Amino acid sequence: MIEADFIQQAETIVLEHLSQEQFGVSELAQAMNMSRSNLLRKIKKQTGLSASQFIRQIRLKKGREMLQETSLTVSEISFEVGFASTSYFIKCFREHYGYPPGKLAKGELTEEVAEPHPPRSFPWKYVVGAVVLVVLAIFLTRSLGSKEDSTSPLGEIEKSIAVLPFLNESSDSSNMYFINGLMEATLNNLQKIEDLRVISRTSVEKYRYQARSIPEIAEELRVSYFVEGSGQKIGDQVLLNIQLIEAASDKHIWAEQYSREIGNVFELQNEIAKKIAAAIKAVVTPAELEQIEKIPTENLEAYDLYLQALPHFHARTREGLEQALPLFNQAIEQDPQFSLAYANLAISYYFLDIFQVDKQYTDSINTYADKALLYDPTSPVSLLAKSFYYIHTKDYPSALPHLEKALEYNPNSSAVVQMLTDYYARFVPNTAKHLEYALRGVQLEIGAEDSIAQSYIYVSMSHALVQTGFIDEALHYIDLSINYNPNNEFSYYLKALILYAKDLDVEKVKRRLLKEFRKDTTRLDILQEVAKLYYLQENYDSAYFYFQQFVAIREARAWNVYPNENITIGWVYEKVGLPEEAQNFYRAFEEFSAKDPSIYRSLWLGIDYARKGEREAAIEQLKTFANHDDFQYWFLLLGNDPILKSLHSHPEFSSVMQKIKDRFWENHRVLAESLRGKGLL
């Protein structure tokens, strides 16, 4: 069979079965007396399309011809060309041709204009503000699911699902927030089912503006099912078309058309979640059912204001949060017991205050979080809001049970998993839990919005891996980060440190970091790393040169970052003949170490005792630290610290250092086994 004849024959067969919704790739292969794999290969070679795309394109082309040549309605034509759902036909048609079929049916487009054109791109802006590298973990989209990543810890999970952005079928674009609210409610209800893996909202948002087939999206997100929907609000009526699609076959396995009064919108949302769960045989516990059946508010005006606030809230920019605040407040005026509105007010104020040295909104965060819990103590959003208050006030032990309880009520909450990742990265450092939650997070936040976001995702993952001693894996992911965005300044910084962990070559890492420093001489992270490297070589003049710049920028910005480095800075200042300034840094370090609740407190005390010449006290504190688990890889290099040099002759120093190394690698081994057992590594 020559190539042209092959494509023509395939098209003819599809057209013969045009109205049969179930006629798909397997049926076409059988009709052509070919194996499915050969069919896929030949169609891809000849058309550049997957087989399902090829079939869909034929259906859409015929549908377009019928719209121009007949008086049939869009709904009638959608069924004639094999679409069980009119809304799905409209969605595919708009993605392929760049305009809805209704415009063609009404004669609003000329033949010339009606030709296919690429979908418009959507202008995304990224503002990445990070004081330290670990902050990248906060509310950034996460993903390890790209095609280039063959060693990703994600496999396709049988009961995995993504809720794609719903389409607004109304000509009134102002209704978009309401349709988005229906989509988000569907997503939130499904997230409460532990038997499902539910991809986050941020991971699917990009498909609102990209023309991708279901198999293509399934390959990217590694899910088994998709929910698609479209609808409109007309007066007091909600019209909603929704369907559940099996990714493997690209077939609808459940579809429903709803027409309900606005007053029944919550009942509708709950019914959809339960029907989807039943269709894919997901186990829903009584406790989960209770969470799903909750009604957020009886006041529909309050709910409408709440939905209007959400797009601004999700933007996570100062401008967006400031636009969301009055809408949440108006919602509360309508319903003074609206827990979700209170919770999102608290969260908004938390993010407005997050990088401020002088906090402005502490009382507001606490007040609104408490009210959210008062009116719904089992809401995962309320619990998350209260955890933010405790993190805001540095009461980290009190934050943890709220985060864990929130995850219990919503096991698919990427926001909670992200905060737990960050909790164990920064607030109460625990490298094993940091990595585990980071890996759990990427199963939920698997699709970044563009290559820039994807690059930062890999930075975060690489950071978690190197901290726990997975050096080669960390190097793999940091290279992926650079491939996605060669301009990602954090990637090269972290890669230099990973390579240092691999070969311990101080001169090489200095050269790499200084190369990055020349691109931006205000980088606090690089300044302190370069200064420390000179400090390790006991080149105090050079260390002072960089620490002096670091201190000046830190003070100018009023940032309280790297407090554990104050003892190193003080040591360097003392060595270059600035004893008074050195004492100021020593005092700052003592204040920090006295309040540090983490496993590193004994280490800080040990280093400080060594600085003071109190060798026995220093050794005792180092012994205490050696009994801890889940500390960072970098502390294996403690023996090179000049402040500890006075301890080298102590009879127990070598054995303590060896115990620290042995404990780290034993924990590394146990962690690797645990993560593999959970399917996370």
* Domain co-membership, 25 together with 64: yes
Residue percentage of the chain with pLDDT more than 90: 45
Among 90-99, 143-152, 171-180, 232-241, the range with the most confident prediction by mean pLDDT is: 232-241
**Highest mean pLDDT: which of 234-243, 249-258, 308-317, 366-375?**
366-375
Residue 489 has a pLDDT of 84
Amino acid letter, 334: Q
The two structure tokens encoding residue 468: 């726990």
CA 444, CA 162: separation in Å to the nearest integer? Answer: 10
Q: Measured between alpha carbons, how far is 497 from 513 in angstroms, rounded to an integer?
A: 9
- How big is the CA angle at 64 (ends 62 and 69), to the nearest 5 degrees? 90
Show the tokens assigned to 486.
């060669």
CATH code of the domain in which 45 resides: 1.10.10.60
Q: Tell whether 52 is covered by a domain.
A: yes
User: Can you give the pLDDT at residue 178?
Assistant: 86
Residue 371 — pLDDT band, cuts 50, 70, 90? Answer: very high
The pLDDT confidence band at residue 109, using thresholds 50, 70 and 90, is: low
Per residue in 406-417, pLDDT tens? 999 999 888 898
**Does 118 score more than 60 pLDDT?**
no
Give domain status of residue 347, yes or no. Answer: no
Question: Count of domains in the chain?
Answer: 3
**CA 95, 98, 101, 105: dihedral to nearest 10 degrees?**
-170
Summarised one tens digit per residue, pLDDT across range 546-582 is 999 999 998 888 887 889 999 999 999 999 999 999 9
When pLDDT is averaged across residues 272-285 and rounded to a whole number, the result is 91
Residue 450 domain-assigned?
no
For tokens 């019914």, what's the residue? 271
Locate 536 and state its tokens. 């390790």
Cβ atoms within 10 Å of 597's Cβ, excluding its own: 12
| Residue 571 included in any domain | yes
Question: 63: pLDDT confidence band, cut at 50, 70 and 90?
Answer: confident
Q: Is pLDDT above 80 for 442?
A: no
Taking only the tens place, the pLDDT of each residue in 399-408 is 999 999 999 9
CB-based burial label for 662 (10 Å; 0-12, 13-18, 19+): exposed
Residue with the bigger pLDDT between 556 and 345: it is: 345
pLDDT average, residue stretch 138-163: 46
- The DSSP letter of residue 132 is S
Q: Are residues 101 and 143 located together in one domain of the fold?
A: no
Q: Is the pLDDT of residue 439 over 90?
A: no
Task: Indicate if 248 and 382 belong to the same structural domain.
Answer: yes
Tell me the pLDDT tens digit for each residue of 589-617.
999 999 888 889 999 999 999 999 999 99
CA angle in degrees (0–180, nearest 5) for 95-100-102: 155
Residue 330 located in a structural domain:
no
Amino acid at 61: K
Residue 144 has pLDDT above 80, yes or no: no
In angstroms, the CA 178 to CA 308 distance is: 7
Residues 246 and 142 both lie in one domain: yes
Which residue did the predictor score with more confidence, 583 or 317?
Answer: 583
Distances (CA, A) of 474 to 174, 257, 634: 45, 48, 14
**Eight-class DSSP state of 450:** S
What's residue 102's pLDDT?
A: 74
Q: Pick the last residue of a domain from 55, 87, 105.
A: 105
Q: What is the mean pLDDT of residues 462-485?
A: 90
Nearest to 231 by CA among 129, 127, 87: 87
Query: What is the average pLDDT across 138-161?
Result: 43
For residues 439 and 512, state if they share a domain: no
CB within 8 Å of 366: residues ≥ 6 apart: 346, 389
Can you read off the two tokens belonging to residue 404? 């864990």
Predicted pLDDT at 634:
92
pLDDT digits (tens, 9 = 90+) for 12-58: 898 888 888 778 877 888 888 888 777 877 887 788 777 778 888 89
Is a pLDDT exceeding 60 seen at residue 115? no
Both 173 and 219 in a single domain? yes
Same domain, 279 and 422: yes
Q: What is the pLDDT of residues 625-661, one digit of tens each?
A: 999 988 999 999 999 999 999 999 999 999 999 999 9
Instruction: Based on the fold, state whether residues 188 and 279 are members of the same structural domain.
Output: yes
Residue 481 lies in a domain: no
CATH number, domain of 621, equals 1.25.40
Radius of gyration of the chain (CA): 29
Mean pLDDT, the chain, as a whole number? 84
pLDDT tens-digit series, residues 180-228: 888 888 888 998 999 898 988 877 877 776 677 888 888 778 888 999 9
pLDDT value of position 108: 56
Q: Are 43 and 3 spatial neighbours (Cβ–Cβ below 8 Å)?
A: no
Q: What is the pLDDT of residue 4?
A: 62
From residue 114, how far is each of 58, 80, 102, 545 by CA, in Å?
A: 16, 21, 12, 65
Strand partners, 243: 228, 255
Indicate whether 138 pLDDT > 50. no
56 and 190 fall within a common domain:
no
Find the domain containing 149 and state its range: 133-294+376-444
Confidence at residue 105, expressed as pLDDT on a 0 to 100 scale: 60
One domain, residues 556 and 659: yes
Instruction: Assess if residue 20 is contained within a domain.
Output: yes
Question: Can you tell me the mean pLDDT for 355-383?
Answer: 93
Both tokens of 253, joined, read: 């396995």
Same-domain pairing of 138 and 245 = yes
DSSP strand pairing (237-246 vs 225-234): antiparallel
Q: Give φ, ψ of 198 to 5 degrees.
A: -115, 120
Q: Which H helix or E strand runs over 256?
A: strand 251-261
Q: What is the CATH number of the domain that holds 184?
A: 3.40.50.11830
Residue 667 within any structural domain of the chain: yes
- What average pLDDT score do residues 446-475 get? 79
Distance from C-alpha of 591 to C-alpha of 566, rounded to nearest angstrom = 10
Tally Cβ neighbours within 10 Å of residue 115.
Answer: 11
pLDDT at 648: 96
Do both 142 and 280 map to the same domain? yes
Helix (H/G/I), strand (E/B), else coil: 168: strand
